[in-house]
Chain A
């Protein structure tokens, strides 16, 4: 049995190691420390999946029920998969892009890694919130200090303000739960949830909803996302879109559809409509983008909109679909951002108007890009299809009009194919004649992404059997 504490401790120790290493006279490259931390944690995770996990708990302050308790809940595992693997996969991009202040970067990277894992395995809400905030702060620093020069400060601050507001509302919800059930422990809360008076449960849900709307993000609190992605370094984007956004979905499922389902049911229709609106809005906005990374960012909002619809459907198929889609989207969007990063690295630009004909110069890259694009469009055999199928079935069962969201997939097809065409096909621009194909290491990184996407797509039971919709 693998103890859950190790999953958090190893990266945290890694961060400490990087810190200590940076003041030693003879230093190892921090990348190596980070890489070993990632490898060990991933190995522990996969071993744990096979042999089982054991929880960990120590009380810290009993008067306010702050105990550091780590335990898997019903839906933890799929998210944990994302949290454990994606940052590890993004490491290579970080190694390529981050050249100044490396030690500090890897400290933040490892801290956010530990905390992302911590969020999904905390069953004490204070510990949960502590991890949540650490993720946020680490991210703020990653964007602000290592992002793209012109936009990073503003984008980082925007990210911070928006998501911090979401954090505060989440804290408010947690405190209210504590006041009325007497505990910050998830297990206790779920059994005592009936003690919460109806009015308060609406307030709690409103708080959680605001957090989710900001984090996932949904219209109208989504404006931070495109800016954040455009400014962030590639590894940051992979983490951000791959895992951070899923935090919103996670809290909404946990505190909305599992804990407070009756509240959610009473406003189900407006929620589904919000989802559909976000889907259509974001996909239309995406189609007008000329920066490839910004396009992917808007399409992330699109997929999270579908996830939101799935969660709001409040039936087993829809909820399962939303979790599945989150996992699938995490890998696919991670791969897309890595591809966008490589594009910028090799050609110097992500502007779709200035690219063209790269297939002839970068054949190996093209294979991965085409794979990623058809994956994101939900072609069967790759992971997004099952997620979308489940979400649509669930959504239709709840509120038929939501099938309108299918139109969003059509529009997405259009702009993704256009982007593909503008990047890979037609004639090579003269400025691009010196472009080289991806390296062996890039190919390995992209292949691992692809393997996950294909396996989840062809054998969906690896995900569908890993969670149950309970605490």
Chain B
């Protein structure tokens, strides 16, 4: 009966267009659905705790059976709980944020997303996983481009879908490979068969799945779609592009971990993770728009998950995933309040708004501290999980990253909450989610121990290295304080950072742009060639006509000509006849 977890949101998706706004308000339908889903996933989590239950459905059969299966075990049900919980928070916030926007379309698309995401985390058939993976991508496209009248929003949605589709195609290719070699889509069965598969298959499918994960989770080199995706409404950014959808990539790697390990891709994953982390931290420092900063921090957080996976700590990655979902979505809510109540999201402009006296300051502090992994918040414990298996070098790099992370997060914090003066409205729909999430972020650290028992492959380490990293983080806070709060701009370092980041951004964008343009030119070239081919056919028809018209002259109406022709014919046949006789 596990599918019941997904069902409420599907019902919501179907009901909203039918009775939303007319009979019942759309948000009520969606909220009810999310609540039921949450209840059900929690229920099943307790019911099946420590066990594994699989429900399998035969979709159709063509020589083999194409099976869809969902399973409930600790991992999947925990994820389901997380997804439905965060979704619920986001939907509550949406009541406030989307009040003046078209309701039906939004709640339909959101319901579609939530249903797909829930399905994704519960899937134990690679085919079903892929189906939801694609659906999640499509709903993301629709939601990013929600304000379709804006050129930038539509373009961002398109870009997101195209870039993630690269991953989708890789994923599909990997599924095809694996299915052909193993004859099944079932994830446990595939993983069991791994030893029997030829190396090349393992390597290829592993690489393809990795590409899929990279594109969905906006890692290097597929990351540019995520900052642009911030064009969507803030609840969308909170749910999809921080807490859930982008985490699906990491989740895929967690689920398919044995394959990647067998393919020997660990080092690759770790390297990409680190590269992305450094890159995104530096880029975050360069941006002024709150949501963009949060976007880059999301990329960085995802990179942490990848690093954890690469260092054979999948449980750690999952733990961080859930922690991240909590505090990141809360931060997005805060920026959403800025957008609606103040109308500004640029940190420098926000500085002037004197927000330091608002009720948002404390939650924001918790949030940014969580990004930096400061104790005693939950994310500190999550960071210890991430870094559990590091080698020395990795640890050093991680330290630097911690510094940068704290630096950019508190840059934002100290700029926004710079001066006092203004008071802001506090509504239930905004305060409730934010407060709940803040509380969890603060005290949730204790769950570390719970998770370590519950999740497979979970490791955490608190040692001298942890201390060093934390110290680096605090250093970052301090520097940010000096530079951004007190306005003591160390001009040399600041401008250096500025220039370096700008260069990086511009160069990478240029590369991407030229790749895109080359496809466009290829398309144009082929189009022109095809036009020419078509004209070639037309011309050959015309040339035949031309030849015909030229040869018309033979039939000139002159009897003498005709007689000559006849004589020629006769002579010719006589000649042939005589040849025959010889």
- Interface membership of B7, Cβ < 8 A: no
Name the segment of B31-39, B160-168, B324-332, B400-408 touching the other chain: B160-168
Contact B151–A223 (Cβ < 8 Å): no
* A284-B526, A426-B148 known, 11 other contacts, Cβ within 8 Å: A158-B538, A226-B530, A281-B526, A284-B522, A285-B529, A315-B63, A320-B63, A406-B169, A411-B523, A413-B161, A425-B154
Contact B165–A410 (Cβ < 8 Å): yes
Q: Write 16 A-B pairs (CB below 8 A) sorted by A numbering.
A: A158-B538, A158-B541, A287-B519, A360-B149, A380-B134, A386-B60, A397-B180, A407-B169, A413-B161, A413-B162, A417-B141, A417-B162, A421-B154, A425-B151, A427-B149, A427-B151
- Interface membership of A57, Cβ < 8 A: no
Interface hits, A372-391 → B, CB 8 Å: 374, 379-381, 385-386, 389-390
- Interface membership of A227, Cβ < 8 A: yes
Q: Kindly list chain A residues whose C-beta atoms are within 8 Å of the C-beta of B148.
A: 357, 359, 424-426
- Interface membership of B513, Cβ < 8 A: no
- Interface membership of B64, Cβ < 8 A: yes
Q: What 1/0 mask marks residues of chain B from 153 to 192 whose CB sits below 8 Å from any chain A CB?
A: 1110010011001100100110011011000000000000
> Which among B62, B149, B158 has the highest number of chain A CB atoms within 10 Å?
B62
- Interface membership of B468, Cβ < 8 A: no
Contact A288–B527 (Cβ < 8 Å): yes
Given A380-B134, A424-B148, does the pair A317, B154 have CB atoms closer than 8 Å? no
Docked CA distance A389–B537 (Å): 35
Q: Kindly list chain A residues whose C-beta atoms are within 8 Å of the C-beta of B522.
A: 284
Q: Kindly list chain A residues whose C-beta atoms are within 8 Å of the C-beta of B173.
A: 392, 403, 406
Contact A316–B62 (Cβ < 8 Å): yes
**Cross-interface CB contact of B179 among A386, A393, A465, cutoff 8 Å:** A393
The interface of chain A, by Cβ under 8 A from chain B, is: 154, 158, 161, 220, 223, 226-227, 281, 284-289, 298, 315-317, 320-321, 357, 359-360, 370, 374, 379-381, 385-386, 389-390, 392-393, 396-397, 403, 406-407, 409-411, 413-415, 417-418, 421, 424-428, 460-461, 464-465
Docked CA distance A425–B131 (Å): 27
Task: For B159, give the chain A residue with the smallest CB separation.
Answer: A417
Contact B519–A379 (Cβ < 8 Å): no
- Interface membership of B362, Cβ < 8 A: no
Contact B149–A289 (Cβ < 8 Å): no
> Which among B60, B150, B158 has the highest number of chain A CB atoms within 10 Å?
B60
- Interface membership of B343, Cβ < 8 A: no
Q: Kindly list chain A residues whose C-beta atoms are within 8 Å of the C-beta of B59.
A: 460-461
- Interface membership of B578, Cβ < 8 A: no
Contact A154–B180 (Cβ < 8 Å): no
Contact A379–B533 (Cβ < 8 Å): no
Contact B176–A392 (Cβ < 8 Å): yes
Q: Kindly list chain A residues whose C-beta atoms are within 8 Å of the C-beta of B131.
A: 380-381, 385
Q: Kindly list chain A residues whose C-beta atoms are within 8 Å of the C-beta of B541.
A: 158, 161
Contact A414–B162 (Cβ < 8 Å): yes
Docked CA distance A161–B544 (Å): 14
Contact A406–B533 (Cβ < 8 Å): no
Contact A417–B134 (Cβ < 8 Å): no
Q: Kindly list chain A residues whose C-beta atoms are within 8 Å of the C-beta of B493.
A: none
> Which among B148, B526, B527, B530 has the highest number of chain A CB atoms within 10 Å?
B530
Contact A226–B534 (Cβ < 8 Å): yes
Docked CA distance A461–B59 (Å): 8
- Interface membership of B138, Cβ < 8 A: yes
Q: Kindly list chain A residues whose C-beta atoms are within 8 Å of the C-beta of B158.
A: 417-418, 421
Contact A317–B165 (Cβ < 8 Å): no
Docked CA distance A411–B166 (Å): 10
**Cross-interface CB contact of B526 among A227, A285, A392, A418, cutoff 8 Å:** A285
**Cross-interface CB contact of B533 among A158, A223, A359, A418, cutoff 8 Å:** A223
CB of B162, distance to nearest CB on chain A (Å): 6
**Cross-interface CB contact of B524 among A223, A288, A407, cutoff 8 Å:** A288
CB of B534, distance to nearest CB on chain A (Å): 4
Q: Kindly list chain B residues whose C-beta atoms are within 8 Å of the C-beta of A406.
A: 169, 172-173
**Cross-interface CB contact of B180 among A158, A220, A396, A411, cutoff 8 Å:** A396
Docked CA distance A289–B527 (Å): 7
Contact B135–A380 (Cβ < 8 Å): yes
- Interface membership of B145, Cβ < 8 A: yes
CB of A349, distance to nearest CB on chain B (Å): 19
Q: Kindly list chain A residues whose C-beta atoms are within 8 Å of the C-beta of B130.
A: 380
Contact B177–A396 (Cβ < 8 Å): yes
Q: Kindly list chain A residues whose C-beta atoms are within 8 Å of the C-beta of B179.
A: 393
Contact B145–A223 (Cβ < 8 Å): no
Q: Kindly list chain B residues whose C-beta atoms are within 8 Å of the C-beta of A158.
A: 537-538, 541
Docked CA distance A158–B172 (Å): 39
9 tightest A-B CB contacts, nearest first: A288-B527, A287-B523, A380-B131, A425-B154, A284-B526, A425-B148, A223-B534, A460-B60, A316-B63
Q: Kindly list chain A residues whose C-beta atoms are within 8 Å of the C-beta of B534.
A: 223, 226-227
Q: Kindly list chain B residues whose C-beta atoms are within 8 Å of the C-beta of A403.
A: 173, 176
Docked CA distance A426–B155 (Å): 9
Contact B537–A409 (Cβ < 8 Å): no
Given A158-B538, A380-B134, A396-B177, does the pair A288, B162 have CB atoms closer than 8 Å? no
Q: Kindly list chain A residues whose C-beta atoms are within 8 Å of the C-beta of B64.
A: 317
- Interface membership of B61, Cβ < 8 A: yes
